[in-house]
Amino acid sequence: MAGGAGFIGSHIVDRLLKNDMEVTVLDNLYTGLLENIENCRGKREFRFVQGDVRDFDLVKSIVKNVDAVFKRARSLGYAPKFTLERGMRELVEWYSKRVS
């Protein structure tokens, strides 16, 4: 869950954990808060990675064994939005090639 420490992302994380899923949150805490995911910390199924979704190598290492990627990282302004979306598109393309 990219942006999992944010308002919407943290609620999705709660729901996924309630459904017995393993969740990794990637968040740079730009606007997100650790207190939003405080209730998840310590759970075996939960992992928090502080980092940026535009860090392609980091994202690639995190998604190695995942079934789904959610993006709730808020993009602020035109340039960051473009970069974020391009980064996620490249990631999805990389992942699609890997699983096909």
Ligand X SMILES: NC(=O)c1ccc[n+]([C@@H]2O[C@H](COP(=O)([O-])OP(=O)(O)OC[C@H]3O[C@@H](n4cnc5c(N)ncnc54)[C@H](O)[C@@H]3O)[C@@H](O)[C@H]2O)c1
Site of interaction with ligand X (CB under 6 A): 2-3, 5-9, 26-32, 52-54, 72-74, 84
Nearer to ligand X, 71 or 100 (CB): 71
Q: Could you tell me the two tokens for 44?
A: 């075996």
Distance CA 99, CA 25 (A): 22
How far apart are CB 65 and ligand X at their closest, in Å?
A: 20
Residue with smaller CB distance to ligand X, 53 or 91: 53
Q: In whole angstroms, how far apart are CA 53 and each of 4, 41, 100?
A: 11, 20, 23
Q: Are 49 and 72 in contact (CB under 8 A)?
A: no
* Min separation Cβ 31 and ligand X, Å: 4
Least distance from ligand X to the Cβ atom of residue 56, Å: 12
